[in-house]
């Protein structure tokens, strides 16, 4: 079941009225908001975030660190999670959805550092009762699925691309390149970008999980295992191999 469509933007809206107008134009139900954590040009003022949430819209809070080797600095992932958790408490979000940004070039150039940051981020967010959903390319999401539960594996993933779609309704259960068994029901897909809405350039995503709201009902616990099936052939006969993460 598709839960939420939401935009994000490199630059914040001018005020909550523009933010709400963008939602209306896109038919979206929430925003991916960048609190004042990481890169300053992304930063949303807290009063704007609070005003959008007061209208019963949802939020995913994302931190955008510098996209270079410093993403692997000791303690960075935990520090970013702590900063977002503090904002979530200020906004009154009982079960926040938190993300850390890992761009495709960062993942390609510094995979170990990106993994270390995302794993520490997820561990700290989960310990505080938040949903951890790192953002990045599909290959990064597949890699995170192999991390152990309780040892850095996030609850969900938010995948970028790989390319815009125009011929069908976007479905987070059918992200190209991400096996259907990985993060089943706990994935978001940034399927469109560089769209203009009410004077703001945005990317647009769809999720299979609900964004956080001020009045947030209990969220079911994500499955602890990563499972994927691959169809092969052996001596001319079809063979399906199922891969499951060990506990």
Instruction: Kindly report, residue by residue over 130-176, the tens digit of the pLDDT.
Output: 999 999 999 999 999 999 988 999 999 999 987 666 666 789 999 99
Position 246 pLDDT exceeds 50? no
Q: Is the peptide bond before 162 cis (omega within 30 degrees of 0)?
A: yes
246 Cβ contact partners less than 8 Å away, ≥ 6 residues apart: none
Residue given tokens 């199922």 in the structure block: 242
Query: How far, in Å, CA of 86 to CA of 92, rounded?
Result: 10
- pLDDT score at 215: 83
SS3 state at 238: strand
Task: Tell me the two tokens of residue 223.
Answer: 């499955």
Q: Is the pLDDT of residue 237 over 90?
A: no
At residue 219 the predicted structure's pLDDT band, cuts being 50, 70 and 90, is low
Q: Per-residue pLDDT for 212 more than 80?
A: yes
pLDDT confidence of residue 247? 40
* Cα–Cα dist 176/81, whole Å: 28
Token pair, residue 177, equals: 């390149």
Helices 46-54 and 76-91, axial angle in degrees (round to 10): 50
The encoded tokens of residue 137 equal 């390319």
Residue range 76-122, pLDDT digits in tens: 999 999 999 999 999 999 999 999 999 999 999 999 999 999 999 99
- Measured CA to CA, the distance from residue 78 to residue 149 in angstroms comes to 17
What residue ranges do the domains of the chain occupy? 4-244
- Pick from 125-129, 226-230, 235-239 the range whose average pLDDT is largest: 125-129
Report d(CA 12, CA 160) in Å as an integer: 20
Superfamily for domain range 4-244: Glycosidases (3.20.20.80)
Q: Could you tell me the pTM of the whole model?
A: 0.86
**Residue 38 pLDDT:** 86
Q: At how many degrees (to 10) do helices 138-145 and 111-127 cross? A: 60
Please report, rounded to a whole number, the percentage of residues in the chain having pLDDT higher than 70.
Answer: 84
pLDDT digits (tens, 9 = 90+) for 29-72: 999 999 999 899 999 999 999 999 999 999 999 999 999 999 99
């Amino acid at each position: 079941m598709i839960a939420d469509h939401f935009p994000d933007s490199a630059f914040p809206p001018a005020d909550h009225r523009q933010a709400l107008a963008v939602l209306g134009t896109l038919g979206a139900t929430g925003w991916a908001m960048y609190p004042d954590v990481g890169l300053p040009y992304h930063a949303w003022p807290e009063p704007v975030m609070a005003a959008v949430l007061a209208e019963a819209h949802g939020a995913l809070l994302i931190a955008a660190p510098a996209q270079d080797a410093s993403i692997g600095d000791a303690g960075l992932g935990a520090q970013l999670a702590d900063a977002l958790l503090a904002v979530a408490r200020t906004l009154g979000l009982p079960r926040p959805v938190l993300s850390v940004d890992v761009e495709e070039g960062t993942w390609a150039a510094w995979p170990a550092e990106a993994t270390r940051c995302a794993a520490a981020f997820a561990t700290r967010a989960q310990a505080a009762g938040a949903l951890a959903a790192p953002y990045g390319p599909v290959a990064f999401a597949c890699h995170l699925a192999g991390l152990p539960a309780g040892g850095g594996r996030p609850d969900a993933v938010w995948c970028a691309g790989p390319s815009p779609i125009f011929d069908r309704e976007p479905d987070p259960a059918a992200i190209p390149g991400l096996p259907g068994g990985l993060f089943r029901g706990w994935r978001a897909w940034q399927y469109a970008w560089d769209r203009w809405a009410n004077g703001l350039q945005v990317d647009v995503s769809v999720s299979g999980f609900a964004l956080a709201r001020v009045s947030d009902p209990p969220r079911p616990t994500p499955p602890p295992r990563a499972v994927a099936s691959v169809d092969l052939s052996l001596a001319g006969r079809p063979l399906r191999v199922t891969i499951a993460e060990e506990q």
